[in-house]
Every structure is written in structure tokens, then in C-alpha cells.
Structure 1
Amino acid sequence: MDEKDQEATFLYKADPERGRIWAQVFAQEAPEIDFRVWPDIGDPARVAYLAAWEPPDDIAERFPNLRVLFSTGAGIDQFDLDALPAEVPLVRMVEPGIIDGMIEYVVFSVLALHRDMPAYRRQQACEHWQPIQVRTAASRRVGVLGLGSLGQAVLARLKLFGFDCAGWARSPRTIEGVRTFSGTDGLASFLGGTDVLVCLLPLTDETRGMLCARLFDALPRGASLVHVGRGQHLRDVDLLAALDAGQIGEAFLDVTDPEPLPPGHALWRHPRVWLTPHIASMTQPESAARVVLDNLHRHRDGEPLLGLVDRGKGY
């Protein structure tokens, strides 16, 4: 680090227990950086780097010398991009633990659906014994909405089980061994050939409410949903109607809107919904801190930042 970096403060504003682990990593690997955990900000004029889940209000006025803003999670939809200084790069978390955790959760969910585990669980509850014909993985069509780093990693692992894999993104992508679709024109064809739909979309104005009645109706009758994007992607009223009508057979939901759901919400007790509390993937604090340190070195050396957000696209 140069003299300018030695005078800089790195401020962490998220879970304080994770912040304690970040502080240990910084102390060991970059002791020249003044690492602080919110609300101990020190001199705000020295804050050059901020890692936050939700940034403070008036960030430009509060930290006039901010150089880089890091999200402590893979998503950045919790940031109001219009309120952030235009000249300050926004960087999302690209820590390996996020990818590994997401792969585990999605593979578990797809395999459970493929082998009819929700149905067997309902049978057990009423002491009913009835085998269901096993299908081959090759006959099960799994489609992933969103082909960023998470979507591509999930598809790579699902292919190993022999599933017929497809993916959709806003712009064209090419992935070996995966049928890919893009844009509005490609969405209908993608949905029509999907038995298990996995949502890994970023949350943008265009994708908000995308999991709705029109989309569900475009899927084959009885298709299943694995939703690990953001709660605001889903119109829960439409999902409940599709479940009750049999258009959607099962739903695994790791995200909702709001979180947690209010008491008595229909999703809590619906027999065809598996609900988990936004735990599909979590950053591992040690490796997350090291990923950020690597980006600090890249910033110092004028190299491209990993996970740099394109504000025009919103992700």
C-alpha cells in the first residue's frame, strides 16, 4: 500500500460478528489499513473504502473521500443506485462460499423434486405407502433463469447428474452442454421446455414481479419452482393460485417478500411449498475479507475490479 492507502480507513457496516472476523483478517494481512466496524467510523474524511449490506444515508456528504463501495452480499438490490456517488465504483461480493452454497441448495432442491421427495413426505404424514414411477435425469428438463456466475455454476453441477439443462438470460450466452435462450422472444420457448424452473435472476426493474401468473402459465402443467433470487421477483398470490390449480406442482422458496413472512401467511402452511429463511448461500467471512483485500490491491494497481456493478444494467 502506498502512503495514501496507509492514511485510509476501511469501514465495515454489516453483521458485527462477521465484522470481527474481517478485522482479524485485515490485521493479519493488511495491518497498514485502519479497519473499523460501524458505528466506530473515526474521521469520516479518512473513510476511503466502505463494505456494507445497507449503506448509511447521505453517503456522499458523510464520506466525501470514498473510493470504492463494496456490497457484503452477492446482490446489490438493497442499494439505491441513484443515491450513490456516480464516480464511486460499486462492487458486489464474488466470494467462493456464495457459489458453493448456492450449488448445494439448488442441487438438493432439484434432486428432491426429481425424486418426488415432497410427495413422499406428504404420504408419510398420512401413513400412506405408494411408490411413484422414477424418471431418468435425462428426461427431466431443468431451466435456470439468470446466467450470471451463480446460474452458470449451478448448471455445470446439474449437468453432472445427466439432467436436460437450459438457461435464459437477457442477452445471448453460450454454455457448453446447455440449451440457452435470451430476450423476450426466447423466454416462451425456454419456459415451455422446463420441468423444474430455478430463479437466479438479479433484481432489477425489469425482473421485479417476473414470477407471475403469465410466466407460470407458460410452463408445462405441474412444473416446479426453485426460487433463490429475491423475494420481489415473486408475486405470491399468483404462485398460490398456480399451486392450487395444479399448474405449479411444487415450490421451494428460499426468499420471500417481506422477510420473514407475516404470521398466518398462506405460504407458511401450504402443503406444496418448502420454505427456508434465505439461507441458500452465505458468505464465509474469512474468504470474503480476502476477496475484498484482493480487490483493494487491484484498485491500487489500476486493474479491473472483480464483481464491478454495471449501473446501467443494475447488476
Structure 2
Amino acid sequence: MIQIQFAARSLRWAEYEAPLRAALDAHGLDYRMENYTQDASLPPESVDYIVYAPNSHLQDFTAYTRCKAVLNLWAGVEGITGNRTLTQPLARMVDHGLTQGMVEWVVGHAMRLHLGMDIHLNGQDGIWRRHVPPLAEDRPVTILGLGALGTACGTALAQLGFPVRGWSRSPKDVPGITCLSGPDGLAQALAGAGIVVLLLPLTDATENTLNAATLQHLAPGAFVLNPGRGPLIDDTALLAALDAGGVAQATLDVFREEPLPPDHPYWAHPNVTVTPHIASETRASSAAKVIAENIRRGEAGEPFLHLVNRDAGY
């Protein structure tokens, strides 16, 4: 019998138990699955798989000597890759729900800013404001990060007519997107960008990717969208660019501290929109199928999906 330890905050167990059991049952797997608490868990030496959220109380993996893989419920793994007790294979979450949710958030806010919708939504005061936006083909978009989420968002925007450039640390080839990579490619990717979308993983190398120097490459009055990770942006530099008009508007979904403190300057800034880390939530119905498929693969001796490269950090 396969022994599965679910380790996340208590509310997640209530959300995930039924979808996970349904997905595991669909594969015909013989298993036992229990929720981890600080007072009770499966015997660590008996566990085959850990379904995991990095904010779980389970932080020491030393005793899990039989564990074949740790299966992350989140796309982000920066909260766990540095854990030296974790020696088992680690898989991050890549699933349809995460990807589709991110595409909808990015496309929705990109179009809102591109069309200048805030001017009309916030200006119902009897003044006839005639604002005609450029066509999409005249507003270059840059996607920083060409993983599954960045590729999907860039492809969707390209299909709407935006010229899309994408930047990644290693070379990529995505149809419809001009792909650039490496330190030299970053400046080229940002040059003249009218919209910048940050979807990089968070590592030591990507922190503050958007800073005082790189912001200078954008088109005057550019828009910044960050649904990736808060520390990808130097907050002080972005606020200065907003105050100076170099950046016209920033829509931010992720922050260095969450929830964003009520006294943070972003809340009061007239050209900042804050959304509460909702750009793409892991949905139990679709994530459960990815987890179950990886467990099936592990039992069949097949390669796991979406394994994390520990050296790269994602």
C-alpha cells in the first residue's frame, strides 16, 4: 500500500482531501493518505510521498528515509529549496488551473492598462475624456520569465496583436515570441517596452531584476505588472519611477511582505493597483490530478513531472 503524507495548513486538507482521493482512485492506486499535524502523522519511515506546501509545520525531512518524492502544491519553491534536510526529488506544481488563472489575470490587466480603462472607470464626473489608445501592435510587451506561466501569458498577448519579447536566464524558443536570454539579453528585452510582466522564479540571481537601472530601458510611461514574486522588483526604485512619470502605472499582486502592511506606500500611490496575491491560485480540482499522476509515475518507475533543479533554484 502506498503511504501518502499530506502536509499543509489545516484548511488545505479540507479543500484537497476529496479531490486527491478521487484523482488517486481514478488511477486505481492502493493507498493510505493522512493529514500531517504537529500532534499526529504517518510514521515518517513508512511514507512514500509527501504532498506539500512550504508553509507546512513539516520542515525536517530527515526521518522520511523511504520517501520517493515531495510533491509541492505551489508553483513557487523558493521557500523549500534551501532546506538541507530535503534530499528527496522535489516536484513543483504546474497545472492547467494555475496557468489559465495567470493568463486571465495578466491579459485582463494588460488590456485594462493598454486601453486606459481606469480613466473612464474613475472619471464618471461629467467630463468628456476622449482617450484613444494605440493599437496593440504599437505597444511592445516584455515577459520576464519564459517558464510555463510566462510562455502561456506571452502567447496569449501575442495572439491579441502585441509584439512580445520574452527574457529568460537560459535560451528558449517560443513561437510568436522574440526570445532573449542572459545578462545582455535583459536590456534588449526591456528596451522600449510599453508593458512589462514579471513571471520569473525567485532566486538570488533574479531578486531586484527590475531596479533603478533596468527601469531606465522601458518606454516612457510604461506599465508594470507583477504577478510573479514580490522581491523581483526593487520597491524603492519602482516608486521613484512612478513619481517621476517614467512608469505610468504598476499593478502588483505579490509583495515582499504579505499581507501588504496598511502603511505601505503602494496602498496610497495613485498610480499603483494592489491585488491580494490572487493572480493565480492553486485549484484543488486540477492540482490533485497533477499530484496523482506523479504518484502513478513514481509507482510505475516513470520519470516524475516538473522536477526542480536544486542548483538553479526552480
TM-score, normalisation: structure 2: 0.92
State, as a whole percentage, how many aligned pairs show the same letter. Answer: 35
Moved more, 106-115 or 155-164: 155-164
Cα offsets for 1:246-275 (capped at 9, x unmatched): 011111101111011112211112111111
CA shift for structure 1 position 80: 4.0
How much does 1:121 deviate?
Answer: 3.4
Residue number in structure 1 paired with 2:111: 111
In the TM superposition, residue 8 of structure 1 has moved relative to its aligned partner by: 2.3
Tell me, yes or no, if the aligned pair for 1:144 and 1:167 is still in contact at 8 Å: yes
Match runs of 1:1-315 below 5 Å: 6-14=1-9, 15-25=12-22, 28-29=25-26, 30=28, 32-39=30-37, 40-54=40-54, 55-56=56-57, 59-86=60-87, 88-124=88-124, 128-315=127-314
Return the alpha-carbon distance in structure 1 between the equivalents of residues 268 and 305 of structure 2.
Answer: 41
User: In 2, are the aligned partners of 1:19 and 1:37 still within 8 Å (CA)?
Assistant: no
Is the contact made by 2:6 and 2:13 (CA closer than 8 Å) also made in structure 1?
Answer: no
The CA distance in 1 between the partners of 2:24 and 2:309, in whole Å, is 31
Q: Report the Cα distance in structure 1 between the residues aligned to 2:191 and 2:68, rounded to whole angstroms.
A: 46
Q: Tell which deviates more after alignment, 246-255 or 298-307.
A: 298-307
Query: What is the aligned-residue RMSD (CA, Å)?
Result: 1.8
Q: Deviations over 1:220-258 (max 9, x none)?
A: 211110101111212212111110100111111011110
- Using the TM superposition, give the Cα deviation of residue 173 of structure 1 relative to its aligned residue in structure 2, in angstroms: 1.4
Letter in 1 for 2:242: L
Separation of aligned partners in 2, 1:295 and 1:129 = 57
- Secondary structure of residue in 1 paired with 2:161: coil
Report the Cα offset of residue 143 of structure 1: 0.8
* Cα drift, residue 134 of structure 1: 2.4
CA shift, 1:31, in A, is 5.8
Between 1:167-176 and 1:98-107, the stretch displaced more is 167-176
How far apart, CA to CA, are the structure 2 residues paired with 1:258 and 1:231? 8
1-side partners of 2:112 and 2:76: how far apart? 26
Query: For 2:249 and 2:118, how far apart are their aligned partners in 1?
Result: 8
State the alpha-carbon separation in 1 of the partners of residues 198 and 139 from structure 2. 17
Following superposition, the deviation at residue 127 of structure 1 comes to 5.1
CA distance in 2, matches of 1:78, 1:152: 23
User: 1:187 Cα deviation (Å)?
Assistant: 1.1
**1:186 is paired with a residue of what secondary structure?**
helix
Quick one: distance in 1 between partners of 2:76 and 2:48?
Answer: 22
Unaligned runs of 5+ residues in structure 1 are 1-5
Which deviates the most, 93-102 or 13-22?
13-22
Distance 2:70 2:126 in 1: 54
Q: TM-score, normalised by structure 1?
A: 0.92
Report if aligned partners of 1:106, 1:226 keep a CA contact under 8 Å in 2. Answer: yes
